[in-house]
Structure formats: C-alpha cells, structure tokens
C-alpha cells in the first residue's frame, strides 16, 4: 500500500478516537463495545476506556510519522519491546 494511504487511514482512526474521547468526557459515559461505563458508577472502567483510546491515538500518530519517514517502524519497535 502507498504510504499516503496508510497515513490517511490511521489519521481517520485517530480522529475517531479523539471524537470518542470528546463524547465520553462530555457525557460522562464511555462505551466500549458491549459495555457501558459511567464515570460516577465505574470510574476505573471509564478511565481504562479513555486510556485505551489515548493509546490508539499515540499508535496512529506513530504510524503517520513512520509513513512520512520521520521515525522508524512502530510495529517493529513494539515487537522488540514485547517479544
């Protein structure tokens, strides 16, 4: 795949995650698939959903930077870190 296409797809993924964080913080309810976490009833679940979306944004930014040639491959960095 061309690098511009990969950067576009991951940019859209990051925008979707940002939109999800915005909706969750404004409503106080985070949806994660089947589960629904209310900030008042389950603050830890709410925080974990927000943290997972922040990790998605960080990975998407790393892939975009790799597609632009500014950093190395983030997938190989994760493989060397965890495997």
Model pLDDT for residues 51-83, shown as the tens digit of each residue: 999 999 999 999 999 998 899 889 898 899 887
- The helix/strand/coil state of 31 is strand
The structure's pTM equals 0.84
| Among the listed residues 8, 14, 12, 5, the one whose alpha carbon sits nearest the alpha carbon of residue 61 | 14
Alpha-carbon gap, residue 35 to 25, rounded angstroms: 16
Which residues pair with residue 38 across a beta bridge? 29
- The pLDDT tens digits of the residues spanning 2-39 come to 888 989 999 999 999 999 999 999 999 998 778 899 99
């Amino acid at each position: 795949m061309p690098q511009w296409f990969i950067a576009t797809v991951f940019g859209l993924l990051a925008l979707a995650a940002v939109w999800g964080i915005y909706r969750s913080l404004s409503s106080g309810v985070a949806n994660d698939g089947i589960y629904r976490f209310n900030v008042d009833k389950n603050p830890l679940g709410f925080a974990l959903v927000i943290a997972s979306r922040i990790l998605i944004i960080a990975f998407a930014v790393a892939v975009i930077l790799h597609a632009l040639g500014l950093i190395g491959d983030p997938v190989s960095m994760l493989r060397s870190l965890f495997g």
